[in-house]
């Protein structure tokens, strides 16, 4: 989700980013095709004050506050992730869901929000884990997903592979997600880091912490989408944690 948020607004809905795989309502909120568990969230903005998850079923008790926040224009030097207990937040099928934010500042600022959801946690399969390097060159657009061709540094042996983690370094990217061949429903992703050494992604995004991302054949690897923080051509460095499953 992304919006340029005006000064001194209180709990305004962030506009969903145009997305080929998730329906948007007339009220500028996402509508999911099945029940989903919320497994993580992140809100990044230079002067963001508050953020909360907004869906009708949550109003039975209270709209969940998303805290801590990343109060800076970029991802910065420290990872900040909302990591709710498993099963504690569930978005119901066909209901509208969004993130509301409050903003201070001395003018309008860009605010980004990522929401990680799953219908069911799929643990990583057994087997040795190895990490491989890939890259993608894309012309990024602020607040839009841009799909690029993921190029592996080494040719993988023939077989089938499951991705159980990812690390993406892209100077002007805010989030990145994988697009697996034949799977139009799920695009698992991670926060981008700005520069090598700036910080290490939260451990949950590596080595099976979020379970299975997806599976692909060596002859048809995944592509990658990056949500732009700034416009322009960028080459991103990607590390995928893999298990060979066939």
State the total domains in the chain: 2
For 140-190, the pLDDT digits (tens) are 999 999 999 999 999 999 999 999 999 999 988 999 999 998 877 789 999
Of 118, 147, 172, the domain-final residue? 118
State the burial class of residue 40 (Cβ atoms within 10 Å of its Cβ: 0-12, 13-18, 19+): buried
pLDDT at res. 77: 57
Domain that holds residue 225: 130-244
3-state secondary structure of 229: coil
pTM: 0.91
Tell me: do 6 and 110 sit in the same domain: yes
Of 118, 149, 165, the residue that ends a domain is 118
Q: Find out whether 67 and 53 touch, Cβ atoms under 8 Å.
A: no
pLDDT tier for residue 199 given thresholds of 50, 70 and 90 = low
Same domain (yes/no): 136, 90? no
Domain CATH code at residue 83? 2.60.120
147-151's contacts with Cβ under 8 Å and 24+ in sequence apart are: 147/179, 147/223, 147/224, 147/225, 148/223, 148/224, 148/225, 148/226, 148/236, 149/223, 150/178, 150/221, 150/222, 150/223, 150/224, 150/238
Average pLDDT over residues 88-109: 88
Q: Is residue 76 part of a domain?
A: yes
């Amino acid at each position: 989700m992304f919006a340029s948020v005006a000064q001194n607004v209180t709990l305004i809905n962030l506009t969903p980013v145009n997305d080929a795989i998730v329906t948007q309502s007339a009220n500028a909120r996402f509508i999911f095709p099945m029940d989903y568990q919320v497994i993580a969230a992140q809100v990044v903005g230079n002067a963001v004050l508050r953020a909360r998850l907004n869906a009708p079923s949550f109003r039975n008790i209270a709209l969940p506050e998303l805290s801590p926040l990343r109060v800076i224009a970029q991802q910065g030097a420290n990872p900040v992730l909302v990591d709710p207990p498993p099963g504690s937040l569930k978005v119901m099928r066909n209901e509208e869901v969004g993130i509301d934010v409050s903003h201070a500042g001395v003018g309008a600022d860009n605010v980004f929000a990522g929401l990680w959801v799953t219908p069911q946690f799929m643990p990583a399969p057994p087997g040795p884990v190895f990490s491989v390097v890939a890259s993608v060159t894309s012309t990024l657009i602020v607040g839009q997903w841009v799909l690029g061709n993921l190029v592996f540094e080494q040719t993988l042996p023939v077989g089938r592979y499951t991705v159980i983690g990812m690390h993406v370094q892209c100077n002007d990217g805010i989030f990145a997600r994988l697009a697996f061949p034949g799977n139009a429903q799920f695009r698992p992703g991670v926060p981008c880091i700005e520069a090598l050494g700036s910080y290490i992604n939260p451990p949950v995004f590596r080595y099976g912490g979020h379970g299975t991302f997806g599976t692909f054949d060596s002859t048809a690897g995944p592509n990658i989408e990056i949500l732009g923080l700034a416009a322009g051509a960028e080459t991103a460095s990607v590390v995928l944690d893999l298990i060979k499953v066939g």
